[in-house]
Structure 1
């Protein structure tokens, strides 16, 4: 597998790679032809730039031509780079993933030279790093022929309706024979070698030779009970009392405040709310005591509407 192509919404692999190459080739050819036609049009407009405006295209047409020319040029540049990169991969018979493997192997070789030809692996094991050649580079012509479905007919490589390579060709791949057949690709990487299983030592962990698992079960039960207590605590949270109940309690506990006398001008507590202009809810015709104690959330627009209605009735 080479990569996933969002343009075709499909993965580029051994069987779809020839179609992907043809798709890029004909896309570049079509966009390049459009680029030449746009260039002719732009050159003609630029050559007649000194003529009166009524003899040329409108501003909307010029803007549309400019956007189309810039977009087409950027797309042509990007697809040309992608086509060249794909042709290079086809000539070297390396996919995108295999090129990453080659770079990783070269990096491991540079690191191993500083540590005497080996790198430390998991568990303190020393892993020797030996240079390996990429086994599937069998020559430029053979690489291209294998990548384009195994056919030596050059015209069929560019035929848009060419058939998909036979499924049997994806089971085995020809090798160049530079390495021993027993050597696998990709080369070993110490960072990817799985860790060996560690032996559990109950004596060191728990200070006892009990291997029945009772300690682990008991610890699990304690954690489970703690989780249940936390969950019950969240469920059993008491709701905060309404303001009037809290206000009455605080008034009863206070000995120096007369609960029978109501201070209309008091600005203390939640009832003393004011906006930026110093207005309170009662200035909008709201009975602060009744409606606030009932905990009704009245929108400000409704309050303003009620005040306007009362002012209209008072007239």
Structure 2
């Protein structure tokens, strides 16, 4: 669940304290007692890379659309607060007070959004923290084992350790392990989303919302998607597609239609392409100042997201822009949905204004709402 701090500056003060307290105390009171000079220099280089990547993640603007002019005429979204069009995958951050390109989330620990231009810095920060804390954890455990193995040698016990070393071993070992574990979990979540699935945390939340809605009893999501297809591609509302729509609805009612056969996330292009999209060239990724190198206003779509005229309705549903249900809410706070009725033995789709759960208020299994990622819900209608 998203962390909210009463004093935003604490979001930077706490990580800075942990980096300095663990890193420099471990070096001075513990590592200097047994580690070679070469390994001590390597450890300090790791800490320096943490500071540099953290600084860049904080200070680099995540990216905002400047003089953006959309080429397409469908699925356009206008930000009333920025008074400009929003490119695909962008959202307005209520804290940064700007639209953010490929917004992943607003991070309280950087007092900044994580978006297209600073995502590489943010991920490098996580990587260097993991490398440094893992290296330190190995050294601390090695030192603890060495001291424990020599605890009964009274004649040399005081020559191999000091009281201050024992105190800091006791304090820093669990602290370091806690940081390693929490950052590793966050890193795995980021890699799973962005590299393996090609999606931001917001888009992953969106996919979970859609899937949860689809499998809910009396769900109208399929009807909504069909209606959305007819809105975006009005020429596709043919008798053949109406007949196919009835067949899909029939299969859905019998639970024979899987969610992933009608919903496609358009920006997942495989691990290698996903990596290049968000991190740039793999050969330059560890270079502290490397970035994706593109505008961040348009992204390559996978083959399922390419619309082809007169294709099957199911293929048209897969080609809907993200999110496929439009993510829209009517002015009175209700969701624009559709209703299926039985008329003369056939299912008929009709527009319907119903009181359904608001998109912005839906929670995932982590208890996260859309606004917990920093998104301004007023700009998501």
- TM-score, scaled to structure 1: 0.51
Unaligned runs of at least 5 residues, structure 1? 120-127, 198-315
Q: Which residues of 2 match residues 117-196 of structure 1 at below 5 A?
A: 117-118=222-223, 131-149=262-280, 151=281, 154-162=282-290, 164-166=291-293, 168=295, 170-179=296-305, 181=307, 183-188=320-325, 192-195=329-332
Which of 199, 220, 225 aligns to 1:94? It is: 199
Cα distance in 2 for partners of 1:98, 1:115 equals: 21
Cα distance in 2 for partners of 1:192, 1:159 equals: 43
SS where residue 4 of structure 1 aligns?
A: strand
- Number of matched pairs: 184
- CA shift for structure 1 position 6: 3.1
Cα distance in 2 for partners of 1:51, 1:110 equals: 66
Asked which structure has the greater RCO (Cα within 8 Å, sep 6+), the reply is 2
Q: Which residues of 2 match residues 1-315 of structure 1 at below 5 A?
A: 1-52=103-154, 54-55=158-159, 57-91=161-195, 92-111=197-216, 117-118=222-223, 131-149=262-280, 151=281, 154-162=282-290, 164-166=291-293, 168=295, 170-179=296-305, 181=307, 183-188=320-325, 192-195=329-332
Q: Choose between structure 1 and 2: higher strand proportion.
A: 2
Contact 2:213-2:219 at 8 Å conserved across structures = no
- TM-score, scaled to structure 2: 0.43
- CA shift for structure 1 position 148: 0.9
- CA shift for structure 1 position 111: 2.5
- CA shift for structure 1 position 8: 3.0
SS where residue 121 of structure 2 aligns?
A: helix
Unaligned runs of at least 5 residues, structure 2? 1-102, 225-248, 253-258, 308-318, 335-381
CA shift in 2, pair 1:135/1:113, >3 Å = farther
CA shift in 2, pair 1:84/1:190, >3 Å = closer
